[in-house]
Amino acid sequence: MPQMDRSDALDILNRCNAKGNFFALPSSTVDALLAEADRVKYRRPKNANGSRGRYFHAYLSRRARVAD
């Protein structure tokens, strides 16, 4: 998966209504995040200690904060 730019990350976060703390998100939002992760073919890190949804949310949040 090529690196995502800031506008794409913000678009996915807004579409899924997934801004803020991952642990406070309802399960329907996490399901929407996972659907987007499938769409962009996101794979969690090899030795990840958490869910793919949590890692994808963290990735999107980091990319959304990066200045262009």
**pTM score of the predicted model:** 0.89
8 Å CB contact between 11 and 36: no
8 Å CB contact between 60 and 18: yes
The per-residue pLDDT for range 7-30, each reduced to its tens digit, is 999 999 999 999 889 999 999 999
Locate 57 and state its tokens: 């949310």
Q: Helix, strand or coil for residue 58? A: helix
Task: Band the pLDDT of 1: cuts 50, 70, 90.
Answer: low
Specify burial of residue 10 (Cβ count, 10 A radius: 0-12, 13-18, 19+): middle
